[in-house]
Amino acid sequence: MNEISLKWKIFIFLIGFSSILVMLLWLFQVVFLNNFYKTIKINEIKSSAKTISKNIDSDRLLSTIQDISIQNNVCVEVFFSNSGDVYSSDVLRECTIHKMSILDKINILNITEQNEGKYLEYFTNDSNQANIYNKKNQDFIIYSQIITNKNGDVALILLNSVVSPVNATVNTLRIQLYYITGFTIIFSIILAFIISRRVSHPIEMLNKSAKILAKGNYETKFYGSGYKEISELSDTLNYTAKELSKVESLRQELIANISHDLRTPLTLISGYAEVMRDLPSENNKENAQIIIDETRKLTTLVNDLLDISKFQSGVETLFMEEKNITNIIETTIDRMNKFLKKEKYQIDFSYKKEILVKIDETKLIQAFYNLLINAINYTGEDKKIFVKQEICDNKVKISVIDTGLGIEEDKLPYIWDRYYKVDKTHKRAVTGTGLGLSIVKSIIEMHQGEYGVYSTNSGSTFWFSLKYK
Ligand code: ADP
């Protein structure tokens, strides 16, 4: 795929980001500076006029005018038409309004009247009027406003401010911006390089190790540091590698076990069959029974293997029906008791009341049966097994308790794994595949139930629980 690497993405992002920053700087500092400055000056002159008009009736009108004039660097003249009073403040070196002829002022008064009492004119230094007013080097603004005081005397407020040329400033800024642009680009390149190295280097390392892992080298170690996500990813990959190597050794063990488990009954079957064929005296019921028993073991082994692969691939679905779980357990136990009577095994069942649960009967019997078979295989000398049905919080809990030697604590988490066997020999002459508990786990999980085990050196309790309402 034509994907861009993380390194380049960071680089492009940083360059893009700095370009936008530099572009904004250019726009504001160079391109729009003149307009900004003009707008500020226009607003300043308007607000000066506003303040004067507010103070038109004040005794301190003159000092207000002088203050404003100094503060905002504007020249001001206020004429009262009836009284003929003139208030003036001249702070500019070449003020236009103080140099205007009376005719010009009357002209401005007329224009202001036509413009509903407010008039603003911006003169650029090359305009004709600027020449008329004899100002050649600077832009300037004339603002006039007509206002009536409390005595009904009409006054013309006339203001003038100069807009100094910003070209020199712009030139200085432009040179500065050339440096800033250059510096930003170099800085982004360095930063992109450092960040991408810090971010992508550990990922590249992990990727390299993952490729080695994919080739089947489960001893691969992942080293990822620098930031949280990477060390978490590396921990996960280390864990995965560990689990994969466990599965791999279990798989090899399973092949060895299964071959052994298949070979033993097959040797017996073919051995006994040959004896029965060759020696008519050996052609008896007992020998035929051995062949039947060994064939059954083979069938169980093959069925377990088929079941587990179906559960693992997720093709198995449940056929759920409301069933009396207490009856089902009791019947299974009765059958088992009858079957094991000769071997003197005793399975007891205790329950308070019968419970209806939605289950897939066949699958649930299979799960329970696997727990029961394990309990029979591992229980103590007394050959006793207890099955308990309890009810708590709308859940029915079935426990299968044996009196065997229990399971070592460090082995407990693994017994539910596929192909796991604590030790390879069973007390009873029943071959285990290490699949029984894994089948239990799959079935109970498919029923959305819970399962678990408590174990001490005087016995184990395997349990599962299902919601029944
Ligand atoms: P297996 O076919 O070997 O019994 P399981 O998946 O049923 O396979 O059990 C896995 C391992 O858990 C067994 O090999 C055994 O060591 C241990 N185990 C299961 N049930 C019991 C039990 N009731 N008491 C002691 N150990 C048990």
Q: Is the CB of 459 under 6 A from ligand 1?
A: no
Q: Which residue has the CA at smallest separation from atom 7 of ligand 1? A: 436
Q: Determine the atom of ligand 1 nearest the C-alpha atom of 438.
A: 6
**Phi, psi dihedral angles at 422 (to 5 degrees):** -65, -50
Which residue do the tokens 């029906």 mark?
321
Q: Is the CB of 374 under 6 A from ligand 1?
A: yes
Name the residue with higher pLDDT: 308 or 187.
187
Q: Is the CB of 133 under 6 A from ligand 1?
A: no
Q: Is the CB of 438 under 6 A from ligand 1?
A: yes
70 is written with which tokens? Answer: 């100094």
- In a mutational test of the pocket of ligand 1, which residue from 301, 366, 372, 374 has the highest number of ligand atoms less than 8 Å from its CB? 374
Mean of pLDDT values over 415-421 = 75
Q: Determine the atom of ligand 1 nearest the C-alpha atom of 370.
A: 7
Question: Which of the four pLDDT bands, split at 50, 70 and 90, describes residue 427?
Answer: very low
Question: Which of the four pLDDT bands, split at 50, 70 and 90, describes residue 149?
Answer: confident
Q: Is the CB of 421 under 6 A from ligand 1?
A: yes
Q: Is the CB of 378 under 6 A from ligand 1?
A: yes
CA separation for the pair 324, 466 (Å, rounded) = 13
236 is written with which tokens? Answer: 């996960």
Q: Is the pLDDT of residue 260 over 80?
A: no
Q: What share of the chain in percent tops pLDDT 90?
A: 38
What's the Cα-to-Cα distance from 62 to each of 59, 77, 82, 86, 87, rounded to whole Å?
Answer: 8, 10, 18, 10, 6
CA of residue 400 to ligand 1 center, whole Å: 13
CA separation for the pair 375, 371 (Å, rounded) = 6
CA of residue 316 to ligand 1 center, whole Å: 24
CA of residue 434 to ligand 1 center, whole Å: 7
CB neighbour burial string for 101-121, b if at least 16 within 10 angstroms, e if fewer: eeeebeebbeebeeeeeebbe
454 is written with which tokens? Answer: 């408590």
Task: Read off the pTM.
Answer: 0.49
CB 87 within 8 A of CB 64: no
Q: Is the CB of 407 under 6 A from ligand 1?
A: yes
Q: Which residue has the CA at smallest separation from atom 2 of ligand 1? A: 432
Q: Determine the atom of ligand 1 nearest the C-alpha atom of 431.
A: 2
**Pick from 29-33, 55-59, 344-348, 391-395: least confident:** 29-33
**Pick from 23-27, 311-315, 386-390, 426-430: least confident:** 426-430
